[in-house]
Structure 1
């Protein structure tokens, strides 16, 4: 599994790929990499600013899984997404937006090569899932050969009423295994 993280700030998301086989610096995680399967995310994304009690909805940019395992059969994988809470301030002045207030939907495949059955996790906003726990974002359920699939997920942040103004930071992580 290869993890790629997105750092969130000021309701601004910066998507930064972790080095191959390495976890984001802020986490202690042991990774097992599926050789021949890789995931990439955009270099940066800005979600902009929102108002207390409102929602902020933005696309994260293209996420792509590449499977170069050749004729391995079955040639399947599952991509997942999760988020930490968003935090502003430090020490006793710290405020948060809980990750259960962050919704995600993958949308359909925007590009694919090779064969296989590719299944989006959530095609429309009506199927959005909250990121309080890890969720499936896309999967390949069958086929073999070299394949890629790309999608452009959307994230929605339900900003709490009475929230303290500030730059909120957190992590959105895509992984594949």
Structure 2
């Protein structure tokens, strides 16, 4: 199984988010688990002295499918877990909070989840993190290249 999650961006005025355009997570046997990095996600907040200038980044996923999808060709988004990890780089002030600091806090992407947030502070700031996906590959699915979409948005 190989996946190439694409990422869609949504943003708030004065707050930008950038993500890798496409990522290949590698392969795994049916019944196994695949862990892979999504690359670096960065939020830049240029709203200046707005007090406070807080934001929340959320993440969602579609199912991963091969071919036309359907029975035996779909990995449900509940089988896809995400953890943000700690910030790998930050500038400016404020309180930056990872959604899932370690793999022990990984959350399934069957609903929108908080990926990272800024909970206090003002002034311009930037934070980057390198999230990881864990995909539980169901037994008995068809071998193939599975594709899904991971969406990050900031508000």
Tell me whether 1:11 sits opposite 2:17 in the alignment.
no
Is the Cα contact below 8 Å between 1:59 and 1:154 reproduced in 2? Answer: yes
Asked if 2 retains the 8 angstrom alpha-carbon contact of 1:87 and 1:94, the reply is no
CA contact (8 A) 2:38 2:133 kept: yes
Structure 1, unaligned stretches of length 5 or more? Answer: 1-9, 22-32
1-structure distance, mates of 2:140, 2:52: 51
Which of 28, 35, 44 does residue 66 from structure 1 map onto?
44
CA contact (8 A) 2:5 2:150 kept: no
Deviation readout 1:71-99 (Å, 9 max, x if unpaired): 00111000000001111122767721000
RMSD across aligned positions (CA): 1.7
* Closer/same/farther in 2, CA of residues 134 and 15 from structure 1, 3 Å limit: same
Normalised to the residue count of structure 1, the TM-score between the two structures is 0.82
User: Once superposed, which parts of structure 1, at least 4 consecutive aligned residues long, lie more than 3 Å away?
Assistant: 14-18, 91-94
Q: Distance in 1 between matches of 2:151 and 2:62?
A: 9
Partner residue, 1:112 = 90
Q: 1:132 deviation in Å?
A: 0.4
Q: TM-score, normalization: structure 2?
A: 0.93
Instruction: For structure 2, list consecutive stretches of 5 or more residues without a partner in the other structure.
Output: none
Relative contact order higher in (CA < 8 Å, ≥ 6 apart): 2
* Structure 1 residues 55 and 93, CA gap change in structure 2 (3 angstroms): closer
Q: How many residues align?
A: 155
